[in-house]
Structure 1
């Protein structure tokens, strides 16, 4: 289910809610804040903070595209944030790149897999998006497991990183 709360995209499926980080939220997260959310480990993880900084820079540069930034991963039951997931930018040549970061105490419970399935499905349902990709360090076997469980397949490496792809269903 997709809803829009004051221009914010919110994706919900099962036990996961993806809450879009708007530029004003990104500024708060990039400055070490919580954006008004309750985080499982007190604060967002480093990857989520870095992604918020990218959203903020894009907003300042005038290149921010709503929907194609970062989302906080929330537990649906209590809306506690367990991590972040998002795009490296808007679609380019029919492709989007996705990255994710979970709080330490949320790892190993399937949150990244559920969030990746939800965000990938949303992205691949958008006009002009034919594939989603993600990269991981060769030694990051937990992330590789997330990608495999979410339906991604290994493709050619990119800049020394292992690359995975999920293609849109044929129409």
Structure 2
């Protein structure tokens, strides 16, 4: 499925079928980091804990002067009505050809393929950017749903990173 990238008010917007990923700029991320909806309609009323933590990473990167547009947190939205069902994004800009992704779904959106769609779209976009050779992701050893997401996208497990299981993707399967 074709990935469409556009910009809306300075935000990167990635659309692929039923999925829209809308970048949250640092000012939006600050609201999300406080657990507020940041002008979005959330399926469960507010962003989930993982989205709150990811938004805080974007805020910290902006405060440290290392934030780069396109490489922060995104709201995962249903394309049909733009209701936010979770958050996904990058742990920061590419470093030595690698970028790390993460994702979080609202409780009532789990089990419907949204995390898989988001991880695939983020990875596809990232691997299309100059200098990005590998997309990384980590999971807790007991987080089987997240491991299944990564496997469906095409990630392969590599050497663990401390207590976390690590995965890499260098290209998307056809």
Q: 1:115 aligns with which of 96, 103, 118?
A: 118
* Offset, 1:39: 0.3
Counterpart in 1 of 2:88?
85
TM-score, normalised on structure 1?
0.96
Kept after mapping to 2: 8 A contact 1:125/1:168: no
Task: Extract structure 1 runs of 4+ deviating beyond 2 A.
Answer: none
Counterpart in 2 of 1:43?
46
* Offset, 1:21: 0.7
Counterpart in 1 of 2:136?
133
Aligned residues: 169
Counterpart in 2 of 1:62?
65
Counterpart in 2 of 1:148?
151
Counterpart in 1 of 2:97?
94
**1:23-73 Cα shifts (integer Å, max 9, x gaps):** 110111112211100000110001111111111111122111100001010
TM-score, normalised on structure 2?
0.95
* Offset, 1:168: 3.4
Q: 2:9 aligns with which of 6, 27, 46?
A: 6
Kept after mapping to 2: 8 A contact 1:26/1:52: yes
Counterpart in 1 of 2:168?
165
* Offset, 1:20: 0.2
Q: Which moved more, 1:58-67 or 1:110-119?
A: 58-67
Q: Which moved more, 1:160-169 or 1:42-51?
A: 160-169
Q: Where do 5+ consecutive residues of structure 2 fail to align?
A: none
Q: What is the distance in 2 between the residues matched to 1:120 and 1:36? A: 26
